[in-house]
Each structure stands twice: as structure tokens, then as C-alpha cells.
Amino acid sequence: MNVRYFLVFTLMVTALLLGWTVSSVLASAYPTVSAPSASSMADPIDRPAYRQQTPVVNAVLFWSQTCPHCHHVIDNVLPPIKEQYRDQLNVLLVEMRSQEDWELLAQTAAQYGIPRGGVGVPFMVIGDRVLIGSGDIPAELPGLVDAHLANGGLGLPDIPGLDKGVSFRLPGEEVCEPGTDCDEVTAVVTEQSKADGHDLAVAIMAGMGIALAFVGLNTARHFRGLSTVRIPKWVEQATPWLGVVGLGVALYMAYVETQAVEAVCGPVGDCNAVQSSDYAKLFGVLPIGVLGAIGYVAILGAWFWARLRTGQTARQAQQAALAMTVFGTLFSLYLTYLEPFVIKAVCAWCLTSAVIITLLMLANTTPALQTVRVKARRRDRR
């Protein structure tokens, strides 16, 4: 494998990741919405609006911290509408924090005849209408509020679990009822600022970094004619098994992302929050799970091709397997970084895939370097 080609390949990969990062940041460039706190929202249990004689319209908005369209609706759409109607409009915000929250949303959508595949946030329920997305809500909400006010008001929909919600408030509105400790409310919210599984994700990132350094050092020593650390034979032979497991994980993630169903997350993290984030699709088009499945199939194909063929074709296939696993590890390292530090949620399936692709890279290092040595010897003979 020519070193210059490998460096060019690495630079192209880095440029691709940088471009995706910039595009994702620009797409998400809305003012940040913090978790419900005493400065912007109030406990919905005792709502002053209910004690007034004027009609009140109630609506429910399901939202997620990782959804830029939700931030747009909360920061830019709801404030002017709330300013217009004041206490005659109460919007209950229900944040998607756990698997139970996503199940509540799926059950709510089912009540209105919406299949799981059509569920997404922001998701607003007002009376017998459902508004989905940052386009429908600003276009239809004011007219629906006027219609329901003319009919004497509208209560909250009959949805279980709404006690988790908090009422949307404009900045400066009184939000603490007498006897309520606002500092205590804020403290409860800040406990959620660190993603569940944060330390595990950081540890895996460290391991991936060490593995990449090991492969880079071994490759550099090999091209300089120095001795290298050989990977045990049994690790090399584990490639097809690791590839099959990784393919299974990627296919499940692809199913969750393409069908918009709730994932089984396990005891660590919140994979549903990750899968519903803006980073779950490459350039907003290709689901990461689908990309991963394609990658695992390609790696398995190259590995088997290298063992079923001989000569130059076999050597190129083995080198391609290493190149793809190095790219996959770099890309997985980037995605793993996003989870605890940007998305603020950790996906156990994603971490599993990151570990698998790293092991595949290590397993293919020695075989690939051996093919380069054979090629170099043949050149010397000439």
C-alpha cells in the first residue's frame, strides 16, 4: 500500500468529517433551549389559568433536547403566540428523556391513528388535531387557538403520563407558586446535565485512540523496515465473527432509524435520543445504521476475497479491509464523541459497534502489513 495514497485517503476522510460537522452545526444553529427550569417554565399541577373565568386552550408539545426543530418551535414559534394569548393559552411541554417517554409518545400517536413510523418531534396535540414538525405548528396553531377560544376553551387531551410535563412560560413570568423553592427546582434539572453512560463512552473513546495509535505506529515501523508487534493469529481469525456481529448491530440500528420505532436500549444510556438526533443521518440523508451495515458487508467481502484469491488481487483486498476498518474506527470515534459531549445521550448499540470496528481494525493490521512486505520484496527482486 503506497504511503502517499494512504495519507491522501486519510486527509479526504478528515475533510469529509469536518464538512459534516460544520453542516450539522449550521443546521442546528438555533438558540439553545435548556432543560425545564424555574426561569422559563412552571409546574403544571397548579395552573393559574384554570382559576380564571376566561376560556383557556390547552395543548401538549412533545419535544427533545437533540431536536433542532423542537428548539426552533420553543424559542421562535411559541413566544409570540404565547405573548398574544397570554393566560388563555397553556402549552404543556413533555421532554423525551427516556424509553418510557418515547413509548408515551407512540401511544399518544396511536390514539390519533398515527403509526410508529410517522411519529417524530416536535409533536403537538391540541384537541382532536395533531401537528408535527416546525412547519405545521406555526401555520396552524394560532387558528386552532382562536377556534377553541370561540367555543369556550379546550382542556388537556386524555393522555396518561402528562404529570411529567411543565407549562411553557415567557421570560419574566412568575413561575414559582408560594412555598416553592425555585433553587431546588433548578438543582433537580441540573442533575440531568451529564449523559447516562458518559464515563463508559469516554473510556471507549480512549481505547479507540490507543488502538489507532498502535496501528499508526506499527505501520510507520513497517515502512521503515523495523520490527512490528504482531497480532495473535486467533484475533485475525475472529474477523468474520466480529463482522457478523457488527452487521447485526448495524442492521438493527438501521431498522430503528428507517422505521422510526423505539429501540431496546438496555441498562446504559438513551439510544432513542441518539437515534432521533440530527446526527443520526449523514448529511441529513443516509441513516448511520445503513452506512454501518454497508461498511460491515464491504469489510467481510474484502476479508473473504483475500482468502479465496491469490496474487495481487488478494493482497489488494486485504489492504482494502484494513483501510475500511481504519476509516470506520475514525468515523466511530467521531460519533462516540458526539454522544456524551454534543447530543448529551449515549447509545449502547453505537458503543458496541464502535468497539467491534476497532477490534476489526486491530485484527486486520498484521495481515495487511504482511501483503505490503511481499510486494516490496518482489520489487527488490526486479
Range of weakest confidence among 29-38, 56-65, 151-160, 242-251:
29-38
What integer pLDDT is reported at residue 174 of this predicted model? 52
Least confident of 35-49, 202-216, 358-372: 35-49
Nearest to 105 by CA among 27, 157, 180: 157
pLDDT, tens digit (0-9, with 9 covering 90-100), for 73-127: 888 889 999 999 988 999 999 888 776 777 788 888 888 888 876 777 889 999 9
What is the rounded CA–CA span in Å between residue 213 and residue 222? Answer: 14
Specify burial of residue 235 (Cβ count, 10 A radius: 0-12, 13-18, 19+).
middle
- pLDDT value of residue 116: 73
Nearest to 59 by CA among 134, 154, 173, 174: 154
User: All 3 cell numbers of residue 142?
Assistant: 394560532
Mean pLDDT of 209-214: 94
Q: Which residues, at least 6 apart from 357, have a Cβ–Cβ distance to it below 8 Å?
A: 246, 295, 325, 328, 329, 332
Which of the pair, 264 or 353, is modelled with greater confidence?
353
pLDDT: is 47 or 130 the higher one? 130
**Hey, is 192 helix, strand or coil?**
coil
- Residue 249: which pLDDT band, with cuts at 50, 70 and 90? very high
The model's confidence at residue 260, banded by pLDDT at 50, 70 and 90, is low
Give the pLDDT confidence of 301-349 residue by residue, as tens digits: 999 998 888 888 888 998 999 999 999 999 999 999 988 888 778 888 9
Domains annotated on the chain, with CATH: 3-29+194-381 (1.20.1440.130), 41-190 (3.40.30.10)
Does residue 369 register a pLDDT over 80?
A: yes
